Amino acid sequence: MTDAPQLYLMTPAGALASALGPLLSEVMDRFPPACLRIRGGAEEEELGRLADLAREIAHGRDVAVVIDDHVRLAQRHGLDGVHLTDGARGVRAARKELGADAIVGAFCGSSRHEGINAAEAGADYVSFGPVGDTALGRGTPAPLELFQWWSEMIEVPVVAEGALSRELIAGLSPVSDFIAIGPEIWGQEDPVAALAGLWG
């Protein structure tokens, strides 16, 4: 575990490809992420357009692209894998469908048990969150102790996400492999400046 986690960038939920392109390029040029995740919330046709756009922008910068839950879209649009939002349940099926080289990540809320199940099922990373207080969060926030325990006991990389602040990122950095940022910046007038405030 290093003291410097990598940035894991998420697109805005329900984003339109036409509006996102230039902004996404600008953000990624300023703060190169290790991975770009396409969040759901749009019609499948729009998600397909977003997948093509994100793949072009990210692969041109040697950044992997995953998409929320859509195994078929990941295959069809040449993405690097999927991020499963329902924990360990779909990990084996996604792995079988996408193959050994694909990225399969799993969001496990604040459940250590779910995280272990996902890791044992073959997930490439496990994501816990929200780490901050949010009205949109599902269940209880994922405590710092969960990340501390995971980083000491489990080799599978861990991602921290959800309602992040600069202070939370500072605390999580020594015990997280990736910090997932998205909603924290896209709602701001200047997402690049907002990311600089969190990550700079």
- Mean pLDDT of successive 10-residue segments in the chain (200 residues)? 84 92 96 97 94 98 98 98 97 98 97 98 98 75 97 98 96 98 95 95
Q: Please state, in angstroms and rounded to a whole number, the distance separating the CA atoms of residues 128 and 176.
A: 10
The H-or-E segment that residue 108 falls in is none
Q: Which CATH superfamily is domain 6-199 in?
A: Aldolase class I (3.20.20.70)
Q: Tell the burial category of 22 from Cβ atoms under 10 Å away from its Cβ (0-12, 13-18, 19+).
A: exposed
pTM score, two decimals?
0.96
Are the CB atoms for 153 and 123 separated by under 8 Å? no
pLDDT value of position 110: 96
